[in-house]
């Protein structure tokens, strides 16, 4: 399907033209049909001679309904500009075309209607010249009469040529559907409609309704009067939502893919036609079908920061219209950044203006990652900076979901080494800097980044037991502590199970901190109750116990090892934890590995 919007002055025959092409009455309201004037958005569709399906969003032409017109054309990729032959270019024609130009609409068709009432040539020539000065450029133009049918076949052929030029939609991307209608259907519940510009909606999909962030479930889908299991962009679609009261949704709300969009109330933009300093304080931002009050803070010659009264799912490159309703002041804006940096320091606004000078709305992944130092792939996708299936640039360091720019990576590596050395100086007995403290010291958001930095250190750092240290670094024992440890180690080398008593350890000056450091360095095996053994004790115990009749009692084991109950109980709990022994009954064990 292709979707086009109409544009033009009130009572120039937009709805009549749509009705003649489709056979469908676009004016839904009784008052519209009674007054002969479109008051709200109308919808109709038809199949062109080449087999293409085209849907029309028919917009009101009266100046009082310009906001409604904006809601209709905002999500649509192409437009049919309508000018009456007997009236020519009028005020609302200018305003509608100005809106189209602000939105950067490049695909269109000029249709001069009521050719049976006046010579269409003057109106056609003037309108083409006016359109050449806009984003539409040199459009194809033709004259028709919806009353006599003259020119309608040529118009259908021209529409086929127009839709063939429309950009191919992204059907496998994230969903963003701006709601333009919400109503209830008896037996079904709440239904919302809109123009789906990208992605595919499936029955039973889970979506979020912005700005509230309410989770909804797709109960059913309908497009062009037919039910579907899925609807792909570009399309007019009606979405039946489960569990959502109709009072909770209205025009301007947005259905989005969960976790794939950032809802923001602040955005940096480029203005297409006005100096930011000319903007009044209170403005209205129109994007899709949404109209949100906002205020602008000028930056440079054509850039500004918008603060919105409600959060919207925006992405870089979005085109929108900024209006001051009472004065009709209008300018287009291009969204440059939906996650801009805070302006805390003096001169920050000027620096930001310089940063935005070359911004186009097409974000540079390397620049965006460098600005943040580190960012997750999921966040870049939600910002619209990186496609969900796009590979990360090779210049970035990729660790799991994290992407880090090279400058940050190198800085982190230096800061990690410095933090390890500083910790060694302040806590010489500890076997290294805890990995969590290391991450905090360098500002890394994930322990996996610290582990990757250690691997990337070229052997300058090692990770063991959840700590980061220099390779070969031993605890910084005092001379007295070193001599005491050497005495204990010599005693245990001669008899691995002759654990010193707690008073003996205390008398030797071996504190808990010293013993913990010695155990972490692999000098001794430290068991609960300050039972200190030789590191080879577990294997020596298994070798001795394997010669016993299996299973054996704790008493049998004590005799075989020549040790005490104080040593045997925690030793066997340690052997059980290592899987070297196993308990077969309450008082019996057997060797399971030798």
Could you read off the pLDDT of 210-240 as tens digits, one per residue?
999 999 999 999 988 889 999 998 888 899 9
Alpha-carbon distances, residue 137 vs 70, 74, 109, 133, 330 (angstroms): 20, 19, 10, 6, 20
Co-location of 399 and 310 in the same domain = no
Co-location of 487 and 467 in the same domain = no
Model confidence at 60, pLDDT cuts 50, 70, 90, reads: low
- 538 found inside a domain: yes
The reported pLDDT for the residue numbered 14 is: 84
Question: What integer best gives the mean pLDDT of the chain?
Answer: 88
Co-location of 22 and 150 in the same domain = yes
Task: Tell me the β-bridge partners of 184.
Answer: 190
Could you read off the pLDDT of 170-218 as tens digits, one per residue?
888 899 999 988 888 888 889 998 889 889 999 999 999 999 999 999 9
Would you call 248 helix, strand, or coil by DSSP?
helix
* CA Rg value for the chain: 37
Co-location of 357 and 459 in the same domain = no
Model confidence at 507, pLDDT cuts 50, 70, 90, reads: confident
Co-location of 132 and 32 in the same domain = yes
Could you read off the pLDDT of 393-419 as tens digits, one per residue?
999 999 999 999 999 999 999 999 999
Co-location of 158 and 182 in the same domain = no
- 447 found inside a domain: yes
> What is residue 373's DSSP assignment?
S
- 547 found inside a domain: yes
Co-location of 355 and 368 in the same domain = no
% of the chain surpassing 90 pLDDT:
53
Model confidence at 261, pLDDT cuts 50, 70, 90, reads: very high
Model confidence at 32, pLDDT cuts 50, 70, 90, reads: very low
Residues 41, 105, 78, CA angle at the centre, nearest 5°? 55
Q: Above 60 in pLDDT, residue 29?
A: no
Model confidence at 26, pLDDT cuts 50, 70, 90, reads: low
- 65 found inside a domain: yes
- pTM, to two decimals: 0.77
Burial string for 458-470 (b: 16+ CB within 10 Å, else e) reads eeebbbeeebbbb
Model confidence at 30, pLDDT cuts 50, 70, 90, reads: very low
Q: Above 60 in pLDDT, residue 62?
A: no
Co-location of 24 and 156 in the same domain = yes
- 81 found inside a domain: yes
Q: Which of 133-142, 451-460, 511-520 has the lowest mean pLDDT?
A: 511-520
Cα distance between residue 46 and residue 20, in whole Å: 10
Model confidence at 461, pLDDT cuts 50, 70, 90, reads: very high
Co-location of 493 and 455 in the same domain = no
The reported pLDDT for the residue numbered 278 is: 79
> Helix, strand, coil shares of the chain as percentages rounded to 5?
35, 30, 40
Q: Which of 206-210, 326-330, 462-466, 518-522 has the lowest mean pLDDT?
A: 326-330
Co-location of 305 and 412 in the same domain = no
Domain final residue pick, 165, 199, 220 = 165
Q: Provide the number of structural domains found in the chain.
A: 5
Q: Above 80 in pLDDT, residue 466?
A: yes
CATH of residue 302's domain is 2.40.30.10
Model confidence at 474, pLDDT cuts 50, 70, 90, reads: low
The reported pLDDT for the residue numbered 152 is: 95
Would you state the structure tokens that stand for residue 222, as one six-digit string?
A: 């309908």
- 130 found inside a domain: yes
The reported pLDDT for the residue numbered 373 is: 94
- 171 found inside a domain: no
- 170 found inside a domain: no
* Domain coverage including residue 535: 479-591
Alpha carbon 527 to its chain's center: 49
The reported pLDDT for the residue numbered 39 is: 35
Q: Above 60 in pLDDT, residue 64?
A: no
Co-location of 461 and 325 in the same domain = no
CATH of residue 101's domain is 3.40.50.300
Domain final residue pick, 447, 473, 499 = 473
CATH of residue 421's domain is 1.10.10.10
The reported pLDDT for the residue numbered 33 is: 39
Would you call 516 helix, strand, or coil by DSSP?
helix
Calculate mean pLDDT across residues 321-345: 86
Calculate mean pLDDT across residues 120-134: 95
DSSP output for 60-71: --SGGGHHHHHH
Cα distance between residue 366 and residue 441, in whole Å: 25
Domain final residue pick, 121, 142, 165 = 165
The reported pLDDT for the residue numbered 511 is: 85
Q: Above 70 in pLDDT, residue 61?
A: no
Co-location of 342 and 398 in the same domain = no
Cα distance between residue 182 and residue 203, in whole Å: 18
């Amino acid at each position: 399907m292709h979707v086009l919007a109409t544009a033009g002055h009130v009572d120039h025959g937009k709805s009549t033209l749509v009705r003649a092409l489709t056979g469908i009455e676009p004016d839904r309201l009784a008052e519209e049909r009674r007054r002969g004037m479109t008051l709200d958005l109308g919808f109709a569709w038809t199949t062109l001679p080449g087999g293409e399906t085209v849907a029309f969003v028919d917009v009101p032409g009266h100046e009082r309904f310009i906001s409604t017109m904006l809601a209709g054309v905002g999500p649509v990729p192409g437009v049919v500009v309508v000018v009456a032959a007997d009236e020519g270019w009028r005020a609302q024609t200018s305003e509608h075309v100005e809106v189209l130009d602000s939105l950067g609409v490049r695909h269109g068709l000029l249709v001069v209607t009521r050719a049976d009432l006046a010579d269409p040539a003057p109106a056609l020539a003037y309108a083409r010249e006016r359109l050449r000065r806009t984003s539409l450029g040199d459009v194809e133009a033709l004259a028709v009469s919806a009353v006599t049918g003259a020119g309608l076949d040529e118009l259908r052929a021209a529409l086929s040529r127009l839709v063939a030029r429309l950009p191919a939609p992204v059907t496998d991307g994230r969903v963003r559907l701006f709601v333009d209608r919400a109503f209830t259907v008896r037996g079904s519940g709440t239904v919302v409609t809109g123009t789906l510009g990208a992605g595919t909606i499936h029955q039973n999909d889970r979506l979020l309704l912005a700005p509230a962030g309410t989770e909804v479930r797709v109960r059913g889908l309908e497009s062009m009067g037919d039910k579907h299991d899925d609807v792909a962009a570009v399309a007019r679609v009606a979405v039946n939502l489960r569990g959502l009261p109709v009072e909770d949704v209205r025009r301007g709300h947005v259905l989005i893919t969960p976790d794939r969009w950032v809802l923001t109330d602040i955005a940096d933009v480029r203005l297409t036609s006005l100096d930011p300093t000319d903007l009044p304080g209170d403005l209205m931002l129109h994007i899709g079908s949404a109209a949100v009050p906002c205020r602008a803070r000028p930056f440079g010659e054509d850039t500004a920061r918008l603060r919105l009264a409600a959060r919207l799912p925006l992405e870089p490159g979005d085109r929108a219209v900024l209006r001051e309703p009472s004065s009709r002041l209008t300018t287009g804006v291009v969204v440059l950044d939906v996650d801009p940096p805070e302006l805390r320091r003096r001169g920050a606004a000027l620096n930001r203006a310089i940063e935005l000078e070359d911004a186009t709305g097409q974000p540079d992944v390397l620049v965006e990652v460098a600005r943040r130092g580190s960012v997750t792939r999921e966040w870049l996708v939600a910002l619209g900076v990186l496609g969900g299936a796009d590979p990360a640039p090779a210049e970035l360091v990729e660790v799991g979901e994290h992407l880090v720019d090279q400058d940050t990576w190198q800085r982190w590596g230096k800061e990690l080494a410095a933090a390890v050395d500083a910790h060694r100086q302040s806590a010489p007995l500890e076997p290294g800097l805890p990995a969590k403290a290391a991450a905090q010291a360098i500002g890394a958001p994930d322990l996996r980044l610290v582990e990757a930095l250690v691997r990337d250190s070229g052997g300058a750092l090692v990770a063991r037991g959840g700590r980061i240290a220099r390779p070969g670094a031993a605890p910084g024992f005092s001379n007295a502590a070193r001599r005491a440890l050497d005495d204990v180690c010599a005693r245990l080398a001669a008899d691995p199970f002759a654990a010193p008593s707690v008073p003996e350890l205390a008398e030797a000056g071996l504190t808990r901190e010293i013993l913990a450091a010695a155990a972490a360095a692999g000098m001794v095996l430290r068991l609960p109750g300050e039972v200190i053994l030789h590191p080879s004790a577990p294997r020596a115990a298994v070798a001795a116990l394997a010669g016993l009749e299996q299973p054996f009692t704790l008493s049998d084991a004590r005799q075989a090892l020549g040790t005490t109950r104080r040593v045997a109980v925690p030793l066997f709990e340690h052997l059980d934890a290592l899987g070297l022994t196993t308990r077969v009954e309450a008082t019996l064990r057997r060797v399971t590995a030798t």
